[in-house]
Amino acid sequence: MITSTEAAVMPEAVAAPARPPRGPRRRARRDRAGYLFLLPWFIGMLFTIVPFFASLYLAFTDYDLLSSPQWIGLANFADMFRDPVLLKSLKVTFVYTFVSVPLSLAAALAVAMVLNRGIKGLPVYRAVFYLPSLLGASVAVVLLWRYIFGLDGIVNAFLGWFGIDGPAWTSDPDFALTTLIILHIWTFGSPMVIFLAGLRQIPVMYYEAAAVDGASRWRRFRSITLPLLSPIIFFNLIQSIIASFQTFTQGFVMNNGGGGPANSTLFYNLYLYQQGFNQFNMGYASAMAWTLLVIIAAFTALTFFTAKYWVNYDN
DSSP state of 261: G
Helices 189-200, 84-115: axis angle to 10 degrees equals: 40
CATH of the domain spanning 83-310: 1.10.3720.10
Query: Do the Cβ atoms of 125 and 307 come closer than 8 Å?
Result: no
User: Quick one: DSSP state of residue 224?
Assistant: I
The predicted structure's pLDDT at residue 270: 94
State residue 6's pLDDT score.
47
List the one residue out of 151, 112, 114 whose CA is nearest residue 133: 112
Beta bridge partners of 61: 71
pLDDT tens sequence for the chain (315 residues)? 445 444 444 444 444 454 544 567 777 777 888 888 888 888 888 888 888 899 999 999 999 988 899 999 999 999 999 999 999 999 999 999 999 999 999 999 999 998 888 777 777 777 777 777 766 667 778 888 888 888 888 888 888 898 888 888 888 888 889 999 998 898 888 899 899 999 989 998 999 899 998 889 999 999 999 999 999 999 999 999 999 999 998 888 887 777 777 888 999 999 999 999 999 999 999 999 999 999 999 999 999 999 999 998 865
DSSP 129-142: HHHHHHHTT-HHHH
Residue pair 133/189 in contact (Cβ under 8 Å)? The answer is: yes
Strand 61-62 to 70-71 pairing: antiparallel
How long is the chain?
315
Contact partners, residue 44, CB within 8 Å, separation at least 6: none
Alpha-carbon distance 269 to 32, whole Å?
Answer: 40
